Structure 1
């Protein structure tokens, strides 16, 4: 399993960095991430944009996968994702807890729950399947 410092360094690039996503915890079969809300992450109606929620959950599940790659694997790609949005937020921090449901040699399945830190209310349930990639040759 990769350590928290390495994952925090890797999340500091690309879309996760642009959105402000932070990885806060990694343990066996689990990864936590969070995001402070700001106007740019909202939909035109003033509520949290669904794409922001999915990006947070997908980042948590993806970095969870990276942290738990099987021996010999060097990367992954998401092959399916699904989210159910059951709440929203307008300010504060949203947190995501991603948990490994299936950790095979060719696929991993991660479930994630996104919630509003200040109220504890669940915002979304998310599931992703990742294809494990191995070096060619």
Structure 2
């Protein structure tokens, strides 16, 4: 089941996530989950979701997680570093991203995002640092 309020938050703050078709499953300070449906237009020639699409899913999900963990007085975040390990392809169904804060400081928020396929297999692991604005 999708989270309409969370989906609106994503699409309003990051219009690119709407263009990709990202849907939010849940959002809160401890966990943000979203998904991207496999679509041929988002794939490589081999039928796998493009790494850039998966990274956009992870970056968007991590950004909302960081935003929900802003310190008092923080107005937003921006990605300053992102590291991705791709482990397997997504060739059908959904890619589901789950982001959790590793560190929520005054100047930076560090978020870890895991992307899984419909079988629950780990597709990618992303660690990103978001600067507090």
* Normalised TM-score (structure 1): 0.88
Q: Pick the structure with greater CA Rg.
A: 1
CA contact (8 A) 1:7 1:63 kept: no
Aligned counterpart, 1:127: 127
Tell whether 2:33 aligns with 1:32.
Answer: yes
RMSD: 1.4
Residue 6 of structure 1: how far off its partner (Å): 4.8
Name the CA distance, whole Å, in 1 between partners of 2:47 and 2:58: 20
Unaligned runs of 5+ in 1: none
CA-to-partner distance for each residue in 1:71-102, whole Å, 9 max, x for gaps? 11111110000100000111101101101000
Residue 12 of structure 1: how far off its partner (Å): 2.1
Aligned counterpart, 1:10: 9
* Normalised TM-score (structure 2): 0.90
Give the number of aligned pairs: 129
Unaligned runs of 5+ in 2: none
